[in-house]
Amino acid sequence: MNPRDDVIHLRRGGTTVILDLSTAPLPSFVHWGADLGPLPPAALSSLAVAARPQRVSGGLDATPRLTLLPTEAAGWMFTPALEGHRDGAGSSILFSLVSVSSDEHAVSLELADVEAGLTARIDLSLGVAGLLTQRVTLRNTGDTTFTVDRLQAVFPLPWEATEILDTTGHHLRERAPQRRALAIGTHLRESRRGRPGADATVLLAAGRPGFGFETGQVHGLHVAWSGNHRVLAERTSNGDAFLAGGELFQPGEVVLAPGEEISTPPVMGSWGEGLSALSYRFHDEWRARPQHPSRPRPITLNTWEAVYFDHDLRRLTALADAAAEVGVERFVLDDGWFLGRRDDTAGLGDWLVDPIVWPEGLHPLVDHVRGLGMEFGLWVEPEMVNPDSELARSHPEWILRGRADLPPSARQQQVLNLAHPGAYRYIAERLHALLEEYPIAYLKWDHNRDLVDAAAGPGGAARVHATTLALYRLLDELKAAHPALEIESCASGGARVDLGILDRTDRIWTSDSLDPLERLPNQRYTGLVVPPEMMGAHLTTPHLHTSGRTVDLELSAAVALIGHFGIEWDLTGTDPAARARIAKWVDYAKSLRDVIATGRPVHVDGTDPGVDVRGVVAADVSRAMFTIVQTVTDAAWPPGRVRMPGLDDDRLYRVAVSSLTGGQGAGQSPLEWATSDTVLTGRQLSIVGLRPMVQQPQQAIVVDVTAAD
């Protein structure tokens, strides 16, 4: 219970939130961030009073300040949280607080604007790890329709948060970081692709200048939504700074009839001393969900880069044999198995096994795979349709379009209007039928194009909001009907990475780039929000398909370790010696996967841009694994010492280079610590560190750290 009626105090998982309920017209944020400890009523009052701004010349008589759901009619002249109208009129919205209910971890505030015919509810809750989630629900209580242009949740930033980090990218390079200063004004990131997109920011973070993974206070926001959305960071000329986020509605997309309501997706805010601490709140929160995948992540082989569209039973059974030989546990048949799908120009929508390529159906392959003791997985792309397909020919009205012509083509495909009951029924029926006919343990659910002009038909209303909800419904129904089914969210690699889809699926395909050097930043920044066991990471051929580079098997394998480990490679072309090396990596990944799934990823802020140090520390800090990758040459050769933080300061740990990597190159001597029994405390490893061993650029070593006591 709250000690005072006019101040809300939430506290959990190292986070404190304080709201001042006495400010007009709506409650104001006093604090979101570091735990302030137990606070007596007098302290809460003083904090609330200390946060109140003064009146200044040239401004309103009551200086506007950041409240929950700020609107223009309340005097807020910065980005509002809500905008809408009734056919061009009725855009003035001024809520007042009607009621509050709260406990130690959550508060629900009911707001009303009788004159505008609107009510709203704001639900704020602190999760187990101190992640702050907000949802705003708007209801039309008027007697005409209300068009919602914007509805978003706001989170206060400390005034010192003047540096922004977000991510951008493209196919093969998702979640590349970028930084800039946050000055007075708005930094806005929008996803207008009907999926977050390869260029979406997985997190919008703002912190003290120079914040890194290990140090510097930083706050960040994620919108758990798989359609269009918006996040922004803003610093006002009245001394407020904030993050805000919500869905991005297209014109006229959300029109509330009398009595109807709409909610924002969960908008999640985290903070930490350093980005790692910020990310742990997301990871811990996610792992605490009942549906979080808890069994050991099966080592997966995906056929895409091994055979592409060349589906041939003999070739695929040989691949399955090789996969089983190296210890693979799940075999996933990728694109190319369904009607007319000989390349990427045709077939999407016709989810029937192609009788020419698979005269006996998929049974011979599925039986073979399962006979080898592996699970079977299948690729699908249910939201898509090729104009060259039976589906498009028989139901052109199911294709999303805003005008008579189809929207611009992408990968020769268009998008189905899953919100159309007929289209939904057809896709659901096909998927259920496949899952009933075959023992499919896993669907790789792809989504290979951005949505543009995604409307219900010529001159029709935009449909991104409705198709996103239909997708969620379909995933939920499939999971309910097939409780053991796991689903991977893929979208041209990692173009749909968000906690909306990840609440209904079991992992993401992090990127189509299997180049380990490109994967290093991709996995590091995806991990700001996504726990490592949910990030697909595959060992691949040394001759990389996407970048043309040639790298060592060891580099490819080491980089895939901190993720859901798999293989994407035509193993039938490898010799027994290579397969034996791969099998050792698979064994090692199996020995590490519990640590990955329950432990803490560690990213070390280094000084040498060419040396990447990261690791994972077991939840009980008894064990850790670090990878050290020399990506390019640095000014220093050999490189300087690297630190390995995250262990128990006072415990002793034995440090050893894994026999899977290591060995010095020509002209190099071995490192003394690697050839002797080296024992250091967690504090020594974290503060002093040791000399890394690398042979030449583009090589990795794996360091095992085990408690010596």
Catalytic annotation, residues: 446, 512
Of 703, 301, 293, 707, which Cα lies nearest the Cα of 532?
293
| DSSP three-state, residue 597 | helix
Q: Which of residues 213 and 304 has its CB atom nearest to ligand DGJ in the complex?
A: 304
Classify each residue of 110-143 as buried b or exposed e, where b means 16 or more C-beta atoms within 10 Å of its C-beta.
Answer: ebbbeebbbbbbbbbbbbebbbbbbbbbbbbbbe
Q: Which of residues 79 and 489 has its CB atom nearest to ligand DGJ in the complex?
A: 489
Q: Which of residues 234 and 334 has its CB atom nearest to ligand DGJ in the complex?
A: 334
Least distance to ligand DGJ from the beta carbon of 300, Å?
12
Q: Which of residues 194 and 266 has its CB atom nearest to ligand DGJ in the complex?
A: 194
Least distance to ligand DGJ from the beta carbon of 463, Å?
23
Helix axes 464-481, 421-437, angle to 10 degrees: 30
Which residue ranges make up the site for ligand DGJ (CB under 6 A)?
A: 304, 334-335, 379, 446, 448, 490, 492-493, 509, 512
Contacts (Cβ under 8 Å, ≥6 apart) of 312:
357
Least distance to ligand DGJ from the beta carbon of 353, Å?
17
Contacts (Cβ under 8 Å, ≥6 apart) of 231:
166, 188, 189, 201, 204, 221, 222, 223, 243, 244, 245
User: What is the pairing mode between strands 652-657 and 623-630?
Assistant: unpaired
Q: Which of residues 415 and 693 has its CB atom nearest to ligand DGJ in the complex?
A: 415
Task: Name the strand (E) or helix (H) holding 554.
Answer: helix 553-560
Measured distance CA(636)–CA(155) in Å, rounded: 43
Q: Which of residues 286 and 304 has its CB atom nearest to ligand DGJ in the complex?
A: 304
- Other CB atoms within a 10 A radius of the CB of residue 453 amount to 16
Contacts (Cβ under 8 Å, ≥6 apart) of 98:
110, 111, 112, 119
Measure CA 360 to chain center. 39
Measured distance CA(306)–CA(319) in Å, rounded: 8
Least distance to ligand DGJ from the beta carbon of 442, Å?
13
Preceding omega of 638 cis (within 30 degrees of 0):
yes
Q: Which of residues 384 and 423 has its CB atom nearest to ligand DGJ in the complex?
A: 384
- Both tokens of 369, joined, read 């795979």
- Both tokens of 217, joined, read 């206070």
Least distance to ligand DGJ from the beta carbon of 492, Å?
5
Q: Which of residues 124 and 490 has its CB atom nearest to ligand DGJ in the complex?
A: 490
Burial class from Cβ neighbours inside 10 Å (0-12, 13-18, 19+) for residue 250 reads buried
Q: Which of residues 384 and 616 has its CB atom nearest to ligand DGJ in the complex?
A: 384
Measured distance CA(508)–CA(404) in Å, rounded: 35
Contacts (Cβ under 8 Å, ≥6 apart) of 412:
344, 345, 346, 386, 387, 388
In 3-state terms the chain splits into helix, strand, coil percentages (rounded to 5) of 20, 30, 45
Q: Which of residues 253 and 334 has its CB atom nearest to ligand DGJ in the complex?
A: 334
Task: Name the strand (E) or helix (H) holding 687.
Answer: helix 682-687
345, 381 contact by CB (below 8 A) = no
Least distance to ligand DGJ from the beta carbon of 277, Å?
31
HEC sequence for 346-384 = CCCCCCCECCCCCCCCCHHHHHHHHHCCCEEEEEECCCE
Q: Which of residues 170 and 403 has its CB atom nearest to ligand DGJ in the complex?
A: 170
Least distance to ligand DGJ from the beta carbon of 192, Å?
21
Phi, psi dihedral angles at 391 (to 5 degrees): -60, -50
Measured distance CA(622)–CA(570) in Å, rounded: 37
Q: Which of residues 472 and 509 has its CB atom nearest to ligand DGJ in the complex?
A: 509
Burial class from Cβ neighbours inside 10 Å (0-12, 13-18, 19+) for residue 200 reads buried
Measured distance CA(499)–CA(226) in Å, rounded: 8
Measured distance CA(648)–CA(600) in Å, rounded: 13
- Both tokens of 623, joined, read 């064990």
Least distance to ligand DGJ from the beta carbon of 15, Å?
36
Least distance to ligand DGJ from the beta carbon of 143, Å?
48
Least distance to ligand DGJ from the beta carbon of 336, Å?
8
**Cα angle vertex 485, ends 482, 486, to 5°?**
150
Least distance to ligand DGJ from the beta carbon of 335, Å?
3
HEC sequence for 39-54 = CCHHHHHHHHHHCCCC
- Other CB atoms within a 10 A radius of the CB of residue 484 amount to 11
- Both tokens of 313, joined, read 């039973």
Measure CA 173 to chain center. 15
Residue of minimal Cβ distance to ligand DGJ = 335
Q: Which of residues 217 and 492 has its CB atom nearest to ligand DGJ in the complex?
A: 492
Of 508, 645, 642, which Cα lies nearest the Cα of 563?
508
